[in-house]
Amino acid sequence: MTEIHGDCAAGFEPVRAAFEENFAGHGEIGAAFSVTRHGEAVVDLWAGWADPDRTTPWRADTLTNVWSTTKGMTALCAHHLADTGALDVDAPVAKYWPEFAAAGKQDIPVRWLLSHRSGVTGIGVERPVKVEELYDWDHITGLLAAQPPLFEPGTASGYHALSFGFLVGEVIRRVSGQDVRAYFAEHIAGPLDADFRIGLDSDDDLARCSTLVEPVLSDEMKTALTQAFANAGPVALAALANPRVQGRDANDPAWRRAILPALNGHGTARAIATVYGAVASGRLLSAEALATAREGQGREADVVGGLGNELALGFYLGSEERGFGPNPRAFGHDGLGGSSGGADPESGIAFGYTMNRMGPLMRDDPRKMALVNATFASPALA
């Protein structure tokens, strides 16, 4: 049996049981799960190992690359700026970033970046990009500014897997004068004492990182993935294959130190729950700003991944999948392989989940869903 560390308040015992079962029955190596209720911690659990060789125990302060769970944190920076009046999400991106007007993009509003509707799903494959190029902010934002939309803006959602962070992040930089790492640290993480960073900048933080383990795919999954890439059109290839990022890339110190606001947030489950808890309880955004952030853009099938979803502005809504609890208006963001953060303001619940053994799904990993479902099934919420 894996030794479980941390605290679980009375009435949330099903959460601890689900967390234990993720290790006993679902192959968890190292993980953490935290829940806040009305901004107060009620669950804070961690267990297992920070490395696949099982030599370094997972600790309360173990940092993990959480992939697209980072997108929610980046979106919060934009909404925080909008809450101050400095950013208008309905204004054209080009108002703040004039170079973005190139190639017919002059009328695309900021909200279409946040809702993956700009058509700029990535850089077209006619200009191949290497993973290492992602570490050069000005280079990538310059390429994206020159990139024509790959579908008609505003007509569909096409997941901006990599480009989201650069697009929204450059707007944040142009408006605030700070890069996303600095803005998030000063205005979000710092005031909340949340141990989350968008790109690491110290050796001490690098030493606290868990090692990600790539998902094990069945032969059937491998065949399906190969066929999907072979059949993918320009919209999906730009989003997912230029460059095609691998799980192991996130273990590279150069990746960890870069500013990749769609991909390389590093944090603890406690920090993710703390941030979403502050949003849900009204400590971070005004009621008006939160309503804007949760504003559904209509349910549709994403033209990149083909998944049905309902996006808000920078977040997924729980919608029919109930990915963040039983409330379809609950919101949050998952990361490739399993990590997640979300909130249900109506119940006052917020949560964060981190792990180092990646699963094969882009969202709603079974381990995360077991923990979320157990949270909302807990007697404390009856």
Per the CB < 8 A criterion, the answer to whether 127 and 322 are in contact is no
Q: Which of 68, 118, 157, 378 is catalytic?
A: 68
Tell me which DSSP letter residue 349 carries: E
Q: Is 68 a catalytic residue?
A: yes
Query: 218 CB contacts (<8 Å, ≥6 apart)?
Result: none
Cβ count within 10 A of residue 61: 13
Query: 347 CB contacts (<8 Å, ≥6 apart)?
Result: 37, 325, 327, 376, 381
Query: 251 CB contacts (<8 Å, ≥6 apart)?
Result: 65, 209, 211, 212
Per the CB < 8 A criterion, the answer to whether 63 and 210 are in contact is yes
Cis-peptide into 243, omega within 30 deg: yes
Query: 296 CB contacts (<8 Å, ≥6 apart)?
Result: 310, 311, 312, 317, 319
Nearest to 79 by CA among 326, 349, 299, 279: 279
Q: How far is CA 116 from CA 63, 145, 170, 325, 329, in A?
A: 28, 16, 15, 23, 19
109 conformational bin, left if phi > 0, alpha if psi -120 to 50, beta if neither? beta
311: which strand partners? 316
49: which strand partners? 57
Cα of 51 vs its chain's centroid, Å? 22
Residue 327 in tokens: 């409330």
Residue 199 in tokens: 């790109």
Cβ count within 10 A of residue 152: 10
- Catalytically annotated residues: 68
